[in-house]
Amino acid sequence: MECTDMTQPETSEFGKSCRNSIIFCSLMLVVAIIVAAVLPAKDTASSIPIVSASTETENEIAADFGVMIEEAGFTATRAVSGDEGLALYRQPSSRGAVEWFYLHVTGNRDITMAILEEAEKNNIPLSLAFALAYTESRYNVNAVNRNKNASVDRGLFQLNNRSFPQLEEDDFFNPAVSAKYGMSHLRFCMNVAGNEVTALAMYNAGTTKVRSNNTPQSTLVYVGKIMAYREKLDRLFAEEVSPYFDSSRQMSGVSVAFLGNRKFDR
């Protein structure tokens, strides 16, 4: 093979073409490096859907929904451990007065006892439990609502047949069964949400919609109705029951008789 002197100018068309291609590719590489260094990296984190139920994510969701409900005029948080109704219901000396009060609220002993017992088991404030039942069914154990997705809500706490497939149709209209599953589901929502208002939104719209910040406006109205009715119950309870109790004393028979003669107007 004949050796070529590399110091001499290259005159063939092929050589010129190769040289020009190398120069062009080198220039494009330099340009690409410069562009990559100047332009900011794309933020892809914001496009990732929420798929976990971590505490951090839940707090963010609660804060977002909290802005909505605070603008509507009520707060997103409320203490559960200090609920006066629950405290008095758990004391033998005052349990009867609490039962009396809520019996006059619902007008039905079976409904009253079912809600009281399940609210106490799940550590749910009594006024919140009764306000939820009133908003869902007006304390009507036979209430039925057919949804656009062909599912059906039934009973005192309007349990959905798709959410509770293990229940027979008659179970939905049993106040004890409805209260059992309604209160346990509300407790689940409260544990997930971290506050009562967001929990009520989850009870109505589902945890998925609330977690993904797709809570419908109708749910805000729904929550507002519950909280307004609850405030009325709390106010009446403070007037009709609380003044007759002292944590250091038992309720006297005279006080019980006096309460029994008081009229409660819903």
Angle between helices 175-193 and 109-121 (to 10 degrees): 30
Residues of the chain with pLDDT under 70: 1-82, 246-266
| Integer Cα distance of 123 and 187 in angstroms | 8
Please report the pLDDT score of residue 251 as a whole number.
45
Note if the pTM is more than 0.85.
no
Please report the pLDDT score of residue 103 as a whole number.
97
Mark 49-61 as b/e (b = at least 16 C-beta within 10 Å).
eeeeeeeeebeeb
Residues in the chain: 266
| Integer Cα distance of 67 and 76 in angstroms | 9
Please report the pLDDT score of residue 24 as a whole number.
57
| Integer Cα distance of 206 and 59 in angstroms | 17
| Integer Cα distance of 201 and 189 in angstroms | 9
| Cα distance between the two ends of the chain | 111
What the block records as the tokens of 81 is: 């451990």
What the block records as the tokens of 78 is: 């409320």
What the block records as the tokens of 232 is: 């009325």
Please report the pLDDT score of residue 213 as a whole number.
87
Please report the pLDDT score of residue 53 as a whole number.
29
Residue 204 CB partners (closer than 8 Å, separation 6+): 219, 222, 223
Residues pairing with 154 in the sheet: 144, 159
For residue 17, which amino acid is it? S
What the block records as the tokens of 27 is: 């220039």
Please report the pLDDT score of residue 245 as a whole number.
87
Which residue bears the tokens 């006059």?
104
